[in-house]
A = this chain, B = another copy of it.
Amino acid sequence: MRDNNEMPGHLARRFQQIAVAVFLAEVEEAGFDLTPVQYAALAAIKTNPGIDQVTLAGLIAYDRTTITGVVDRLVQKGLLVRNPSSRDRRARELQITEAGKRTLRGITPAVEAAQRTMLRGLTEKEGADLMRLLRKAIAAGNELSRAPLREAELR
């Protein structure tokens, strides 16, 4: 049997595990209570006001059934509002609130610090290489997961 350290799947799990722990630690230290997933959703909604949940899920590669709970919790925290769409009564339009914008602004330095901490064992060039290789592997495997990344479409 191959050693775990030779298994990309194992390494993927470990790196993600560390990345989440680092994110949560930096964010908590900055006085915020937001998960990586919640942060990505909030940032995407700020950039795309009025986006519906399916499009949001595609933008950040979340499963459509996961996004429901994530949005629930962001609404619960008062960082988002979720309103029925006027154009399509099936859809919900997501808008960031003022509190959401304040949270995003305040949390950004901690998020940036977390990204650096995740790569702290690597040189600048190694970090860039790692990201480049991850992007390439992800692009090739995008369609293999149930929640592939999707470009936003104009409506």
Contact = CB atoms under 8 A, between A and B. Distances in A.
Interface of A: 1-2, 4-23, 25, 36, 40, 43, 47, 60-61, 104, 108, 112, 114-115, 117-122, 126-127, 129-131, 133-142, 144-147, 149
A60 B140 CA distance: 27
Count copies of this chain in the complex.
2
Tell me the interface secondary structure of chain A in the complex: helix
Instruction: Name the residue in A16, A36, A119, A142 with the highest tally of chain B Cβ atoms < 10 Å from its Cβ.
Output: A16
Contacts of A140: 120-122
Given A12-B19, A12-B118, A130-B130, A5 B135 contact: yes
Given A126-B136, A141-B121, A11 B61 contact: no
A114 B9 contact: yes
Given A13-B36, A121-B141, 20 more contacts: A4-B40, A6-B131, A7-B115, A8-B19, A8-B134, A9-B19, A10-B60, A11-B134, A11-B138, A12-B16, A12-B134, A15-B16, A15-B137, A16-B16, A18-B137, A120-B141, A121-B137, A122-B140, A126-B136, A130-B133
